[in-house]
Amino acid sequence: MPTKILHKERLIPGRTSKLVLDAPQIAATARPGHFVILRVDEKGERFPLTIADTDKEHGTITIVYLVLGRSTQMLEELEEGQFIHDVCGPLGRATHIQRFEAPKKVICVGGGTGVAAMHHIAKGHHEAGNYVIACIGARNKDLLLFEKELSLFCDEVLVSTDDGSEGQKGIVTDLVKGRLDSEGGNIAEVVAVGPVPMMQAVSELTRGYGVPTTVSLNSLMVDGLGMCGACRVTVGGEMKFTCVDGPEFDGHKVDFAELRSRLGSFRSQETVVREHHRCNCFEKKEA
């Protein structure tokens, strides 16, 4: 069913954009952690995007995407008032959110476009009554996302940049370690969403503190319905499918070495002349 774009904001021009979509049925049931599958036009590929926010009253969902391949470039070419061919969701398992009694706190860590997905989870913890510390990082201040949005409900928003142009100079795990050290055991849970190396680093850090840690592995998804098997990942020695068993898993049980190896399997093909990439699913075959 065609889905109308009600609002578009280019967060980082030419790189990252935010869309607010008219999707009342999805907005009515979507929860933090859920994702949708989009198809820009009739012959376009299906690709997943995590829901960054919902507004049940107005029947809208918010998505944020990085302009990387042909499909996201097609999405970037659409403007307010135009339609996405179809949007399917909510999909996946919602984030497990429970209320922690004070002085217990939750740290939500985000990097890159993962900050948008983390935003929805942090908001869920806030609505559950938890004290939320948001830790976000980027290479420089121009690449930071959702700092203002997170400040509307998070009790604290901590920022780090590689070059020190905003917040603390360094990487986001430095912020997490600082709070783990200063809180003296009051951190009940850490949630990390973003690049795989960042989620792995956060998980390895929190393991030493014995703090439960959740990571989101949405970068693995292809079809989003558990049929293709491309999103398989080993968690606690068992094979899981990110799209139907996740996308969130215990970060201390994920086999990150295997995950990073699989993500890099087709890197050479992915980097060869991206502009010439196109889907061949609908090409007519010669007899």
55 φ, ψ (degrees, to nearest 5): -135, 95
Q: What is the pLDDT of residue 66?
A: 92
Residue pair 107/191 in contact (Cβ under 8 Å)? The answer is yes
| Domain contains 182 | yes
Phi, psi of 11 (to 5 degrees): -70, -45
Do 80 and 110 belong together in one domain?
no
Per residue in 210-241, pLDDT (tens digit) is 999 999 987 667 777 777 778 889 999 999 99
Domain assignment of residue 275, yes or no: no
- Of 79-93, 108-122, 126-140, 212-226, the least confident: 212-226
| Mean pLDDT taken over the chain | 90
CATH number of the domain bearing residue 165: 3.40.50.80
167 located within any domain: yes
Q: Do 43 and 182 fall into the same domain?
A: no
Burial class from Cβ neighbours inside 10 Å (0-12, 13-18, 19+) for residue 227 reads exposed
Number of domains in the chain: 2
> Distance from CA of residue 224 to its chain's centroid?
14
pLDDT at 18 over 80: yes
* Residue % of the chain over a pLDDT of 90: 78
46, pLDDT greater than 80:
yes
Q: Within this chain, do residues 124 and 186 fall inside the same structural domain, yes or no?
A: yes
Residue that finishes a domain, picked among 91, 117, 141:
91
Q: Check which CATH number belongs to the domain holding 37 and give it.
A: 2.40.30.10
Clarify whether residues 236 and 113 are in a common domain.
yes
Domain co-membership, 137 together with 218:
yes
In a domain, 253, yes or no: yes
> Does 186 lie in the same domain as 83?
no
Residue 145 has pLDDT above 80, yes or no: yes
Q: Are residues 147 and 30 in the same domain?
A: no
> pLDDT (tens digit, 9 = 90+) per residue, 161-184?
999 999 999 999 999 999 999 998
Residue at a domain's end among 67, 91, 115 = 91
Q: Is 231 a member of any domain? A: yes
Residues 110 and 229 in one domain: yes
Q: For residue 281, is pLDDT > 60?
A: no
Extended strands (E) in the chain: 3-12, 16-22, 35-39, 47-55, 60-66, 83-84, 86-91, 105-111, 131-138, 156-161, 168-169, 187-193, 213-216, 232-235, 238-241, 248-250
Cα–chain-centroid distance for residue 108? 12
The confidence score (pLDDT) of residue 229 equals: 79
Position 178 in a domain: yes
Mean local confidence (pLDDT), 105-130: 95
pLDDT at 226: 75
| 268 is a domain residue | no
The set of residues, in sequence order, having a beta carbon less than 8 Å from that of 54 and lying 6+ positions away, is 26, 27, 30, 60, 61, 62, 120
Asked if residue 278 is part of any domain, the answer here is: no
Mean pLDDT of 122-140: 97
Clarify whether residues 60 and 186 are in a common domain.
no
State whether 84 and 110 are in the same domain: no
- For 257, the token pair is 């070495």
Q: Which domain holds residue 248?
A: 105-263
Q: What confidence tens digit (pLDDT) does each residue in 236-270 have?
A: 999 999 889 999 999 999 999 999 888 776 555 55
Q: Write down how long the chain is.
A: 287
